[in-house]
A and B are shown apart, each in its own frame.
Chain A
Amino acid sequence: AQSVTQLDSQVPVFEEAPVELRCNYSSSVSVYLFWYVQYPNQGLQLLLKYLSGSTLVKGINGFEAEFKKSETSFHLTKPSAHMSDAAEYFCAVSNDYKLSFGAGTTVTVRA
């Protein structure tokens, strides 16, 4: 079974500073990867996904992620953080008929 590991449980960042959330996955033949965001007391919302093709994937709210097969990584980045980016972020990998989620990374943004 495939799995993901989110390397940071918390990431503090200053407003307008770049932010990076790290995700590594276990290797397999075909990999489909996702990043979701969850705001307080809400469900998960899809930020972006890698299914095939270009390894640099752009998502909503200015986020992007790069699929690096050689490093088995799918890190999420944003060049300039906003206060509204404060949330929990989940990396996920497709696994049979379901998704396997990482433990989540909490992003806090300071002015």
Chain B
Amino acid sequence: ETGVTQTPRHLVMGMTNKKSLKCEQHLGHNAMYWYKQSAKKPLELMFVYSLEERVENNSVPSRFSPECPNSSHLFLHLHTLQPEDSALYLCASGWTGRYNEQFFGPGTRLTVL
């Protein structure tokens, strides 16, 4: 399998649930990114990992917890979310320091009830 994969593709959860989103890249990149895309809003960069080290956290609430165990895998752990967190969550990977071209996964459509 090639490219950037995300699982699950769709997720419905209650406000008290705990779930995790998974992202995997098979491109040999050294950086991975989480974005939030809400309806009628611009893309929001949430987290950036470079060489498995978090280099950016854009004032994201603590109910979102990222984890990058190695350069190929990225997780977003979710707990006690709010309905306004419903959105498309996109993962991307790329090479930092080389133009920063990014390759995106298909996204996880999250609905918080």
Contact = CB atoms under 8 A, between A and B. Distances in A.
Interface in A37-81: 41-46, 49, 51
Contacts of A94: 99-101
Contacts, number: 57
Interface residues of B, number: 26
A98 B104 contact: no
Contact of B100 (A44, A45, A95, A103): A95
Interface string B44-73: 010010100001100000000000000000
Contacts of B97: 97
Contacts of B55: 97
Interface string A97-110: 11101111000000
Given A41-B88, A90-B43, A104-B42, A98 B107 contact: no
Interface of B: 4, 6, 31, 33, 42-43, 45, 48, 50, 55-56, 88, 90, 92, 96-97, 99-107, 109
